[in-house]
A and B are shown apart, each in its own frame.
Chain A
Amino acid sequence: MNDLFVYTLRLGDDALIAAQRTAEWIAAAPQLEEDVALGNIGLDQLGQARTLLQYAGQVEGAGRSEDDLAYFRDERDFLNVQLCELPNGDFAQSIARLLYFATYQHLLYEELRGCADETLAGVAGKAVKEVAYHVDHATQWVLRLGDGTEESHRRMQAGLDTMWPYTAELFTSDALVERLEVAVDPSTLHDEWERRVTQVIDESTCARPTSSYQHSGGREGRHTEHFGFLLAELQHVARSHPGASW
């Protein structure tokens, strides 16, 4: 398979699956204001996914549209990191994921906007402002929940700890990113990511998560047991009524 296709698919799948999980909060967030905030964030992620998947389809050259890629691939064909597909858990757990993921995306897009591929650079240039706000939103909540009540602190700590073992996968380098000129080697982002994330965690009075075991496999299409259910919900309508339009 074409390296650029696979690389674009990785970025697009991360954004698409993150958007699907974020959207699950709409009408279920702790406040109406947060429903709207998370709705905005989910739509930002979906917008990134659409452009990236559309581009992946073009690069592949097999005539697949963004919809074909989103709705008619099976679990093993998705290349998103497992962090994005994990269930939302409680609000604190979702916010922990948003902090980890958005901080990664921010560093990634900052690098990618200077790359030689015009489309990828364009997507990154637009998205970098969006994800900067996602980082800010997650940060505000981590600080308030971590340094809030005894119960909110306990939940924030649990959320940070639960998501932490899925973060190493974000920074795993492989032969493809080394070969592909325009790709950002994610391992180069790790130190700055850790610095930014631990700064927020420290300020929130939570403890830095420690974990020796780190999950992996998403980039090769190996996913958690939760992923099939997510895809079922995402793809059900499109597959039941193929070719239907609004």
Chain B
Amino acid sequence: MKILTIGDLHAVRSEAVKRLMLREQSDSTVSEASSGLDTGTERMQVLICGGTGCKASSSALICERIKEKLGDRGIDDRVDVITTGCFGFCEKGPVVKIIPDNTFYTQVTPDDADDIVDNHIICGRRVERLLYVDPKTGRSVSDSKHIDFYRKQMRIALRNCGFIDPENIEEYIARDGYFALADSLLNRTPEEVIDEVKRSGLRGRGGGGFPTGVKWGFARKSVSDVKYVVCNADEGDPGAFMDRSIMEGDPHSIVEAMALCGYSIGSSNGLVYIRAEYPLAIHRLKTAIGQAREYGLLGENILGTGFSFDIEIRYGAGAFVCGEETALIHSMEGKRGEPTMKPPFPAESGYLGRPTNVNNVETFANIPVILTKGAEWFSSIGTEKSKGTKVFALAGKINNVGLIEVPMGTTLREVIYDIGGGIKGGRKFKAVQTGGPSGGCLTEKHLDIPIDFDNLVAEGSMMGSGGMIVMDEDDCMVSVARFYLDFTVEESCGKCTPCRIGNKRLLEVLNRITAGKGTEEDLKTLSTLGKVIKDTALCGLGQTSPNPVLSTLNHFYDEYLEHVRDHKCRARQCKALLTYLINPALCIGCHLCAKNCPADAIIGDVRKPHVINPDKCIKCGMCMARCRFKAISVS
């Protein structure tokens, strides 16, 4: 159906709201009772997470099995099965939610479909074994609102993820989708829209933190008959997946925001630059664009206002530097993704030499809500200079790996311990890395700092796109720095010397240190060279690439010193510094270790203690993993 007037949009919404009513109601009430069709519930809904993480654990098959079962029982007309975007709680995926009682099932397998349908949906009895168990109390929790992971979150950019069917435009409209666009086109001038975005205090979520409204203002001022709106969806930070989840879970919010941006800056051409490695996100986005065209919300003369806008998709091909806007623009032009000096800024001369406005996915996802709820509402959330919320991809040695969204100003401690559930296996927290390869490591003493753009930079790290990797005492900070440098060296485009050669030298020094051949002089080299690269590199990638080294050097100097002075790695990660030993008192001579040793380095007679030949040992740790008597240790 074509939406030609605001009345049409209202009509679609009032129809679609019915479908969402059940979910909205159960979202706003807390009920400990569970419902079933035989115990008086009229209609039910099953929400199944269709994000990449859960799909990797066969969530599509779970969906199929549940549908099959509902068909067998003849109740498929009373129960809707909906595949949603990411719920965020990836650690416990695949996630299945039953509406109206909001029961939150975790780690579901396809074989659980029978139980869910027969026991819960029909008889109203919860499947206890699939409920989340609160590790603190040991009690199972059925309503996700009572799970600590969700309690401290505030979902603005992720407002629709895990709630609506991302492949259904009407569900998006039911959540006031496209109303910000309609209202702006009909009732506001472009300047008024830009002003609202400016006043909201929204800053770019891709890494830099530049005020979005100001950026739009620059692009608006540039005079040209053709301008471009670009969505940067080339999420290259390893370990960050917030943009992907938004595109998978709520693609229409990006489409709407890009159209709004187009109206504001005076452009009718939108381009999404997306990683080719994100097939599901590409599919969902394409579907959304197709539906928006079909409904007349993209294309010529939108809502009869004379404003036209359409979106094309461009594929990235795996280059981290393409997250930098000038590099991204070159890549879209079919060239090597090398950055160029600014100015000229893309707002003056960007894609094909035309004024271009580049924003990141999460930034765009905030736009429609800001315009619907107002700048004052948005700017009331967060800290003085960082407004709103931020999505983080929480990963590493943490109990609750997943995607979270918290108001700016939340402390690291709240994120790691309250939402993240603390460190895996009861180990000791050591550091948290924020900002990916451009960021740095923060330690115990930083846990109570309110997270915002400026505080993180002040501590030698940065917000970046929002990757947050938690590390425990088993992680070697020198190795971590080496890991990031390895990444930067591989991803450096090679255009400027400080980044191309400087980082290579940094990596060589770090390789030397982790191989036990470093000197104290090397530590000085790391620090001096790192600062030179920061000051002299051409683009944002180069200027921030030494951050992982400098911040670990700063906060974990004694660990570096141990590597070079005592040739010791306290986290037992640097292979060259390790020795594997068999304790003769514990070894019963079962020969299992010798059988599994890939280097034939273990010798000994059956039923007699074995020994490891250090000259042959490749330190793979296979023997230790196999030994059932804990007779092998590493030091």
A and B interact physically = no
